[in-house]
């Protein structure tokens, strides 16, 4: 299983709790994450391939992986109360997950 993990800054603590609660299952998968999210996952003791940070294009990189069939699942811990400069990339990612039937 190839899984991407993304978390907005306000949701990173929640994402870390999720990762720790599901550590055994996640360690069996190939994990990918946006840059800062990936550093939090690494600090939890789990190997992850880190891409660019979200605002620098990491969300777009994950969207491209969805479009090319390189991901099976995306966990996105979104913070709907904050404004994000890379929101168009987030919308593209959500759309591509829908188009390619990748659970988000």
Which positions are catalytic? 59
Hey, what are 30's tokens? 């190939």
Element (DSSP H or E) covering residue 90: helix 87-99
Task: Identify the CA nearest to 84 among candidates 5, 11, 33, 31.
Answer: 11
């Amino acid at each position: 299983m190839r899984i991407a993990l993304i978390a907005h800054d306000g949701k990173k603590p929640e994402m870390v709790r999720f990762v720790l609660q599901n550590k055994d299952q996640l360690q069996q998968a190939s994990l990918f994450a946006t840059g800062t999210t990936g550093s939090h996952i690494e600090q939890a003791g789990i190997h992850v391939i880190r891409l660019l940070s979200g605002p620098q294009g990491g969300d777009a990189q994950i969207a491209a992986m969805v479009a090319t069939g390189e991901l099976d699942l995306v966990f996105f811990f979104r913070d709907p109360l904050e404004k994000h400069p890379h929101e168009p990339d987030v919308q593209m990612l959500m759309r591509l997950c829908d188009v390619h039937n990748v659970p988000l």
